[in-house]
Amino acid sequence: MPQADTVFQSRSDGISAEGVRDQYADGKAAKVWEIFIGDKKSRTENYRNFLVEKLRDNGCKRVLDVACGTGVDSIMLLEEGFQVVSIDASDKMLKYALKERWNRRKETTFDNWGRCSKPGGRREQIQAIQNFEKCVKPGGLLLIDHRNYDSIMDSGATPAKSIYYNGDGTCEFRLSYYPHQLAIFEDILKGIFKNSESHELYGDFKSLDKVDNPAFYIHVVKKSK
């Protein structure tokens, strides 16, 4: 199965072509999302230790999972003992998370799991990150990732493998992405999280010296106390 489109086609500066629907927002992607990501356990094992260690080392107990999708990562964090609130722009995606919560409702952790639709309409990228900064407590962490668009735009192709998507089947749907370039995205984070205690950068949850061309970049920003 192709993990993503094999060719990256740029239409505009982050604006969908007229008449072309984003099938994440309209719910079509939700119907096949779990097929697309493949085995949940295999997916989360790629980064479970990384996330859990970062959160625990910094004393984090409560997590806001933005763009949670069907709740795969939220469930993993709940199982690890964190308090989780999950939001997503697609109410269709949240229905899958709600179903999992219902199936495991007798577990106290899942009974207290909160989910809600993403408030408001589409916001500018900088405004969204400013909102994240307000949500992070002093001394807390922002963990945010994005695709390696620098490589995609240079080569015109996406990586053959992905840490997030490993399904065996084939599914087709249309998604709209904003092509964040690494240097620009770093500048945005530094401008919003001023005087942050630290800003670490990883590739596919590994140190950059251990991965040549990562599919995803992961930023870990610690807000000053």
pLDDT at 8 exceeding the cut of 50: no
Tell whether 74 is covered by a domain.
Answer: yes
pLDDT in tens, 93-132: 888 878 877 788 777 776 666 656 554 433 578 888 999 9
pLDDT at 25: 60
pLDDT at 220: 97
Instruction: Say whether 127 sits in a helix, a strand or coil.
Output: helix
Q: Name the burial class of residue 202, with classes exposed (0-12), middle (13-18) and buried (19+) by CB atoms within 10 angstroms of its CB.
A: buried
Q: Give the pTM.
A: 0.76
CATH of the domain at 122: 3.40.50.150
Output 8 or 168, whichever has higher pLDDT: 168
pLDDT at 175: 65
pLDDT at 55 exceeding the cut of 90: yes
pLDDT in tens, 132-184: 999 999 999 999 999 999 998 898 887 766 666 665 666 666 666 778 899 99
Tell whether 132 is covered by a domain.
Answer: yes
pLDDT at 113: 65
What average pLDDT does the segment 171-198 reach?
Answer: 85
Please give the residue range of the domain that contains residue 95. Answer: 28-222
What average pLDDT does the segment 191-205 reach?
Answer: 94
Q: Give the confidence band of 21 by pLDDT, cuts at 50, 70, 90.
A: low
Tell whether 62 is covered by a domain.
Answer: yes
- Among candidate residues 108, 114, 109, the one with its CA nearest the CA of residue 94: 114
Tell whether 21 is covered by a domain.
Answer: no
Tell whether 5 is covered by a domain.
Answer: no
Percent of the chain predicted with pLDDT > 70: 66
pLDDT at 199 exceeding the cut of 90: yes
- Among candidate residues 9, 3, 14, 11, the one with its CA nearest the CA of residue 152: 9
Contact partners, residue 4, CB within 8 Å, separation at least 6: 158, 159, 162, 165
Could you give the angle at which helices 48-57 and 72-79 cross, rounded to 10 degrees? 60
pLDDT at 36 exceeding the cut of 50: yes
Q: Name the burial class of residue 22, with classes exposed (0-12), middle (13-18) and buried (19+) by CB atoms within 10 angstroms of its CB.
A: middle
Tell whether 137 is covered by a domain.
Answer: yes
Number of domains in the chain: 1
Output 75 or 26, whichever has higher pLDDT: 75
Neighbours of 90 (CB within 10 A): 24
Distance CA 82, CA 76 (A): 9
What average pLDDT does the segment 46-50 reach?
Answer: 85
pLDDT at 99: 82
Output 105 or 218, whichever has higher pLDDT: 218
| Enclosing H/E stretch for 142 | strand 141-147
Average pLDDT of the chain to the nearest whole number: 79
Count the helix, strand and coil residues of the chain and give each as a percent rounded to the nearest 5: 35, 15, 45
pLDDT at 224: 93
pLDDT at 112: 61
